[in-house]
Structure 1
Amino acid sequence: MALMSCPACQKRISSQSKSCPHCQAELGERTETLVKISHIEQSNRLMNHSFIFLTLFIAGVVVWFWGGEPAQGVTAMLAISSFVLGFVGYLITRVRIVLHKRRSV
């Protein structure tokens, strides 16, 4: 008996159970298909997070250098915060994507 994620609610369940005890989703013979679909959906979510953080990073750079001179005051703090949050978030999300792809389906 191995533990796997429920395709519907993502909670850990036994691979031999016929239905999820948390959400009562029927597993039956479709378990492999549901696991693959769940894996693809998680990949899509991670790619969306990556895109959002990259957009935040680019927005920080644009705000910082808008008008030809570096921003000052509140605008500078907003730009730096956006830049750093976008950069760190993008790096973390890319690592999560690599780890997710290494996991076998």
Structure 2
Amino acid sequence: MALIECSACKKRISSLAKSCQFCGVSQGEESEGTQKIRQINRASQLQTHSFIALTLFIAGVMIWFWGGEAAEGTRLYIGGACFVFGFIGYLITRIRIILNRRGKV
């Protein structure tokens, strides 16, 4: 007997089990429920990525304009990098969320 990973919920179960004790999916079968669980998990993960990118974007704006004036020197580069990476990351993540909802990812 060995522990294997459930194809639906990714939890460890016995290799002798006929179905997963956590999600109830039979081993070796890829059902519609399994696909739905996978899509929900992916959507949750993408929402987390979106939140992190948006936080990075806001941090970049705050660093840039901290103290009421435009940044200079090191603060300019750090704020600009956070701003750009956060903005681009947010846009890419939003596109991935749309594609996930359409079922293309």
Map residues 1-105 of structure 1 onto 2, 5 A cutoff. 7=8, 26-28=27-29, 31-103=31-103
Q: Give the aligned length.
A: 85
Shift of 1:34: 1.8
Percent of residue pairs bearing the same amino acid type: 47
Structure 1 moving runs of 4+ over 6 Å: none
Aligned-residue CA RMSD in angstroms?
Answer: 2.4
Shift of 1:8: 5.3
Structure 1: give runs of 5+ residues left out of the alignment.
Answer: 1-5, 10-24
Shift of 1:96: 0.6
Distance 2:38 2:55 in 1: 26
**CA deviation digits over 1:55-85, x for unaligned, max 9?**
0000000000010011111111000000000
Structure 2: give runs of 5+ residues left out of the alignment.
Answer: 1-6, 11-25
SS at match of 1:38: helix
Q: Which has the higher helix share?
A: 1
